Amino acid sequence: TGLAARVLAGCTTGAVAVACAQPTDVVKVRFQANGAMLESGRRYSGTVDAYRTIAREEGVRGLWRGTLPNIARNAIVNCGELVTYDLIKDALLRAQLMTDNVPCHFVAAFGAGFCATVVASPVDVVKTRYMNAGPGQYRNVLSCLLALLMQDGLAGLYKGFVPSFLRLGSWNVVMFISYEQLQRAAALARPAQS
């Protein structure tokens, strides 16, 4: 499969996933910010209450706040993960540095997690800040990005890089090793069914 097809597949799956799950992400981001507040200042008593409160106060559109930056983020993360995993694994195998086994999958997945974090962190920071913003705080995503750059500079786009990398790196290792092992098990099971 060529690079263009891999990139298109990564972007498409990322966009479709966001289209289905955006309200859940908005509630997660808001509920996490809510949990950091003193009990007297909390806006939501639980997850269901968060959905209701957001829909009541901001309309159903409030549950879809930040959809475009989230689509961009997911498309970038998926490309960063899927494409770089394949490229790293292929390079390791072509150079005969490793064989197609768990250590090779681990190295490729770890590299994919790092690449995904590098390219996705700026979008992720802006997305989270925009979703957490109060009504009217930013006109749009671009104004949120500009305010962040004015306040924190380019380094602000990489706030929380280490925890993000630890999360994405470990996620990629578990996901790709599991995927490879399931794919191998499925291939072994196929001849037995014939």
CA distances from 192 to 5, 179, 185 (A): 32, 20, 11
**Percent of the chain surpassing pLDDT 90:** 42
The burial class, CB within 10 Å (0-12 / 13-18 / 19+), for 6 is: middle
Q: What is the pLDDT of residue 62?
A: 86
How does pLDDT run across 110-137, given as a tens digit for each residue?
999 999 999 888 988 888 888 778 778 8
Would you say residue 76 has pLDDT above 90? no
Q: What is the pLDDT of residue 45?
A: 83
Task: Locate the domains of the chain by residue range.
Answer: 1-65, 81-193
Structural contact between residues 120 and 80, judged by C-beta atoms closer than 8 angstroms: yes
Structural contact between residues 92 and 29, judged by C-beta atoms closer than 8 angstroms: no
Q: Is 84 left (phi over 0), alpha (psi -120 to 50) or beta?
A: alpha
